[in-house]
Amino acid sequence: MIGNCEWCAFPELGIPAVKARVDSGAKTSCLHAFDIEPFEKDGASWVRFEVHPLQKNQRVSFTREAEVVDRRKVKSSSGEVERRYVIASRLEIGESGWPIELTLTNRDSMGYRMLLGREAMRGRVIIDPDETYMLGKVSQEKLERLYQTSLGKKTPKSKK
């Protein structure tokens, strides 16, 4: 059982905590990313992108790279169609984890840095829309430890 919001992690991307809005109406999951740059690596398509994993906190910022598994047209909640890069990564939520696909787009205007869509949840979770953080909250102190930052210090940009 999960609530309408949950804390997630993406260890393969070096993202130890990101608050996700659980959205069974969204087909694909989405991660907040900006400055998305495609490039080739060993003959494969990759993307390099910046991520601010914490809501209302642009001080915590990382540069990440991932192999592109697809490019898809995605209709946003405002009805606009956008062609997005799709990457794959292991999602960890609560005590469980499994591989999912994520589209990358700028979610600065949205309340959550991540949207957990139904393809990632299918056959794995049941949503209780009246509850939040059923798998546990992440305290400010733990976030500061996880991201090794506090009181306005900016974390160094790093590549995986």
Which residues sit opposite 113 in a β-bridge? none
CATH number assigned to the domain with residue range 5-147, chosen from the 4 options 3.30.1490.20, 2.60.40.10, 1.10.10.10, 2.40.70.10: 2.40.70.10
- Note the pLDDT of residue 158: 47
Domain ranges, ordered by start, for the chain: 5-147
pTM given for the model = 0.86
pLDDT along the chain (160 residues), means of 10: 96 94 93 95 96 82 94 83 95 95 88 92 95 92 80 45
pLDDT in tens, 96-125: 999 999 999 988 777 788 999 999 999 999
Q: Are 84 and 98 in contact (CB under 8 A)?
A: no
- Note the pLDDT of residue 20: 95
Q: What does residue 142 show for φ and ψ, rounded to 5 degrees?
A: -65, -40
- Note the pLDDT of residue 149: 59
Tokens, residue 145: 């430890």
Nearest by Cα to 87 from 64, 66, 113: 66
Pairing assessment for the beta strands 81-93 and 96-105 based on DSSP bridges: antiparallel
Tokens, residue 107: 């979610």
Q: Are 58 and 23 in contact (CB under 8 A)?
A: no
- Note the pLDDT of residue 124: 95
